[in-house]
Amino acid sequence: MTSATNTASRAHGSASLKHRLAERGIDTKLLLLVPAIVFALLLFVYPFAYGIGLTFQPLAATQDQWGGGFLSNYVAFFRDAFIFDSVWLTLKLALPAALFNVLVSIPIAFKLRNKFRGKRLLQTLLVLPITLGTVLTAQGLLIFAGRQGWLNRFLMENGIIDQPLALVNNYIGVMLSLIISGFPFAYLLISSYLSGIDPSLEAAAKTLGANWKQRFRRVTLPLLAPGLATTFILTFVLAFSVFPSARLVGDASGDTRVLALMAYRAFSEQLDYSMASTIAIMMGVVELIVIAFVFLGRSFLYKGSTGGKG
């Protein structure tokens, strides 16, 4: 500490102010940050703050119905079962979908680590759904799995079922859509985490007498776990903000009444901007709570290098 002050006082003696500022990283290059800061302020910070402000300006109708003064929107959010239940409905979709995507990606990423003929083709097929929009996926699901879709027609004509399977316009339809669009993300992330683990660690475990189950449980999984947590969070956030597929292949006023739909409805059908903002903010809060839990769990895991040399 003393040596630092010494240097500073000596610098004060000879170097110019410009030099002393530059030493602390303050120079004209900082001006390059201006466009980014303006952009962030105008397009993120201001609308976000404005949105939060809106939530405290409830419509008169909301205040009459739920009371609570300027907090009336929040009172409505928690008291109105139609709105509040959609928190659980959204979680019921997003949590299992994220969990499924992560868990299924692990063995596939494992298998695809080895070299084999046709690996690239298989990888392309697995990642392809990323390039399809959710709308295209929904359209495909309707054509394939709808009441009059190929699958049901095939099964009915061959006498395997009497009644068409209800695979779309309900919970299952949205779940399928979330898996189709979320899996490639999970797979890509996990396979990159996996490739970051030094293969000689597994070789070492092998020569020490560990069979494949022990190698996975004792070596690979602990090193992969932080990556799995991150992947889970990302796919969860993607699934939690589901909107188009909930409307197109879901049951928009029943089982798949997700939060994004509720916010959209509040603003477009009821013209209640303040309620829509409240729902949007609460979406963020629920996401943050889930993420906080995952990070809490992650903090107990080893997070250092996985390169083997430590």
For the chain, the 3-state helix, strand and coil shares in percent, each to the nearest 5, are 75, 0, 25
How many CB atoms neighbour CB 22 within 10 A? 14
> CB-wise, 222 or 297, nearer to other proteins?
222
Q: How many residues interact with other proteins (rule CB under 8 A)?
A: 25
Output b/e per residue, 125-150; b: 16+ Cβ within 10 A.
ebeebeeeebeebbebbbeebbeebe
Q: What does the block give as tokens for 127? A: 């990642």
Q: Using CB under 8 A, pick the residue from 28, 158, 163, 207 that binds other proteins.
A: 207
The least CB distance from residue 235 to other proteins, in Å, is 24
Q: Chain-centre distance of CA 85, in angstroms?
A: 21
Is residue 167 classed as helix, strand or coil in its secondary structure? coil
- 247's CB contacts (< 8 A; 6+ apart) are 261
Interface with other proteins, residue 302, by CB under 8 A: yes
> What is the spatial distance between Cα 195 and Cα 69, in angstroms, rounded to a whole number?
55
> Binding other proteins by CB under 8 A: which of 47, 254, 297, 307?
307
User: Residue 306 interacts with other proteins (CB under 8 A)?
Assistant: yes
CA-to-CA distance for 310 and 160, rounded, in angstroms? 57
**Binding of other proteins by 298 (CB under 8 A):** no
Q: Which of 94, 194, 223, 275 binds other proteins (CB under 8 A)?
A: 223
For residues 15 to 54, the per-residue mask of contacts with other proteins, x marking binding by CB under 8 A and - elsewhere, is: ----------------------------------------
Q: Does 119 bind other proteins (CB under 8 A)?
A: no
- Residues 144-203 close enough to bind other proteins by CB under 8 A: 198, 200-201, 203
291 near other proteins, judged by CB under 8 A: no
208 binds other proteins (CB under 8 A): yes
Closest CA to 106 of 194, 179, 172, 23: 194
Least separation in angstroms between residue 291's CB and other proteins is 23
Q: Which of 7, 214, 268, 299 binds other proteins (CB under 8 A)?
A: 214
CA of 291: how far to CAs of 234, 236, 284, in Å? 9, 9, 10
218 sits near other proteins (criterion: CB under 8 A)? yes
**Contact between 118 and other proteins per CB under 8 A:** no
> Under the rule (CB under 8 A), what is the footprint of other proteins?
198, 200-201, 203-211, 214, 218-219, 222-223, 302, 304-310
